[in-house]
Amino acid sequence: MTAPFSVGVAGLGAAGLAFVPALQTHPGFTWVACAEPVDALRAQVQREHGVAAYATLSALLTHPGLDAVIVATPTPLHAPQALQVAAAGKHLLVEKPMAVDLADARAMVEAAARAGVVLLVGHAHGYDEPIAAMRSIIDSGELGAVGMVNTWCFSDWVQRPRRSDELDERQGGGVTFRQGSHQFDILRLLCGGRARSVRAKTFDWDPQRSTVGAHIAFIDFKDGPAATAVYNGYGGFSSMDLCFDISEWGLHQPPGQRPRWPRPGSAAAELQAKRDRARSAIAAAAPHAPFFGLTLVSCERGDIRQAPNGLRIHTPDSVREVPLALQRSPRERVLDEWHAAISGSAPALHSARWGLANLELCVAALQSSRMAREVTLHEQVPLPGQRL
C-alpha cells in the first residue's frame, strides 16, 4: 500500500464527525486537520483529537503536506469549496447532495478533471454492505435479470433539528435532495446506473415547517429495470417496523427506544440542538446491518431483501439467509473507494459524473412533481466497466 494520504475535514457537523472514527483507523489515510467556523466546536475537536484546526477552508488548504479534503459543509457551499479545493490540487470527497443545481455540479466535474484530482461524492447508502451484496448477486446471474427494485423509507427526518437551509429546496434542502440522493444512488447501483426518465410527486404537509417532506418516484432504466423510491419524513410510521426494529445505522431500536425530537422554541435553540445531536447522530459501529428503509430487488427467478445481518433470498422453492461480513462501516467503505481511486488501483464508482447523475434525478423528480409529467434524463452514466 502507498503511504497514507493526509486528509483535512471541512465542516464538523454530523456528516463531518461521522468520518472521524473511520479516518482514525483507516490505513490509507491520516487525519491531520479540520476547518470549522464555530469557535467552540473547532476548539473541542482540536482538544479531543489533536489535529490542527482552522477557521476557514482557505487556511486549511495551506496545511503542510495536505493531500485531500472531505467537504462536509452545508450543501450551498459544496460547489464553491470544491472548486477551491480542486484549484489547490487536492483530492476531494464531497458529501451528498453534490450541489444545489446541475450547473454547479457540472462545474465541479470540470474543475476536478482540469486539476487532475479525484472527486468522489458520498456518503450515500449505496455504500452499505447489503446493497453492495445485492449488486453482486445480480452480477452473478443466479436469479436472472433484475426487473424491479423498490426502496421505501419512513422516518422522522422533518422533525429532527434542522438549519433553515436544510428545509429550503432552493438551497438543496428537503427530503428529495437530502434523502432521495441516497435512494437514487441505491436504485442506480442496482439497476445498472442509466436511468431513462422519472415521474414523481412530492409533498409538503406541515405549514409550521414547510419543506419537501415526502416523495414518491417511478424511475425507468435504459437497461430494462424499473424502480420506485418512496420517502416519508414526517415521523408517523417508521420503516423500522418493516425492518426488524433496526435503524438506519444498524442499531436495534424497538418502538419505545426510538429518539424523539421536540421542536425547539427558537432558531438559535434549534441550531444548538442540531449541534448537540451531531455528536452521536451517526453510529461509528453497530451490531446489525444498516437499514435505510426496506429495499426489495425482484429478479426473474427470485427476490432479495435485507436481513438483520445480511440478506434474505426468496425463490419459489425456498427462503435462505446470506450472512455478510459487517466489520467495516459504510464510511470505511467510502474511504476504501476513495483511496483506491486516488492511488490508481481501481476506478471510483461514486465518481464526479456518478454524483452528477444522482443529483440530476433529485432535480428531475422535483421538476416532475411541479410540472405533473415524466422528465427525461440526460446526465446518466453506467456502472464502471459497463458500456454506454
Q: Pairing relation of β-strands 195-203 and 310-314?
A: unpaired
Taking the C-alpha atoms of residue 359 and residue 361, their distance in angstroms, rounded to an integer, is: 5
**Residue 43's CB: how many other CB atoms inside 10 A?**
12
Q: pTM for the whole thing?
A: 0.96
Q: What is the pLDDT at residue 336?
A: 97
Q: What is the pLDDT at residue 157?
A: 96
Average pLDDT over residues 113-142: 96
Which of 352, 338, 332 lies closest to 2, judged by CA? 338
Residue 324 DSSP one-character state = -
- 268 — alpha (psi -120 to 50), left (phi > 0) or beta? alpha
State the DSSP H helix or E strand holding residue 186, giving kind and residue range, or none if neither. Answer: helix 180-191
Let me know: does 292 contact 186? Beta carbons within 8 Å: yes
User: How does DSSP assign 269-322, residue by residue?
Assistant: HHHHHHHHHHTTSS-S--SS---SSEEEEEETTEEEEEETTEEEEE-SS-EEEE
Statement: residue 387 has pLDDT above 70: no
Average pLDDT over residues 169-174: 96
Q: Read off the pLDDT of residues 274-316 as tens digits, 9 standing for 90 and up.
A: 888 877 777 778 899 999 999 999 999 999 999 999 999 999 9
pLDDT band for position 267 (50/70/90)? confident
Q: What is the pLDDT at residue 1?
A: 54
Q: What is the pLDDT at residue 264?
A: 82
Average pLDDT over residues 335-343: 97
Residues in the chain: 388
Amino acid at 32: V
| pLDDT, averaged across the chain | 95
Q: Read off the pLDDT of residues 56-81 as tens digits, 9 standing for 90 and up.
A: 999 999 999 999 999 999 999 999 99
Q: Read off the pLDDT of residues 215-256 as tens digits, 9 standing for 90 and up.
A: 999 999 999 999 999 999 999 999 999 999 999 999 999 999
pLDDT band for position 265 (50/70/90)? confident
Q: Pairing relation of β-strands 68-71 and 5-10?
A: parallel
Q: Helix, strand or coil for residue 297?
A: strand
Q: Helix, strand or coil for residue 11?
A: coil
Q: What is the pLDDT at residue 282?
A: 79
Residue written as cell 486528509? 7
HSE at residue 192, side-chain half, CA atoms within 13 A, is 19
Q: Helix, strand or coil for residue 45?
A: helix
pLDDT band for position 385 (50/70/90)? confident
Q: Which residues contact 25 (CB under 8 A, 6 or more apart)?
A: 332
Q: Which residues contact 85 (CB under 8 A, 6 or more apart)?
A: 57, 61, 69, 71, 92, 117
Taking each helix axis from N to C terminus, what angle separates 129-140 and 180-191, rounded to the nearest 10 degrees? Answer: 20
Q: Read off the pLDDT of residues 125-136 as tens digits, 9 standing for 90 and up.
A: 999 999 999 999
Residue 251 DSSP one-character state = -
Let me know: does 331 contact 338? Beta carbons within 8 Å: no
Statement: residue 349 has pLDDT above 60: yes
State the DSSP H helix or E strand holding residue 366, giving kind and residue range, or none if neither. Answer: helix 352-371
Amino acid at 231: Y
pLDDT band for position 46 (50/70/90)? very high
Let me know: does 78 contact 71? Beta carbons within 8 Å: yes
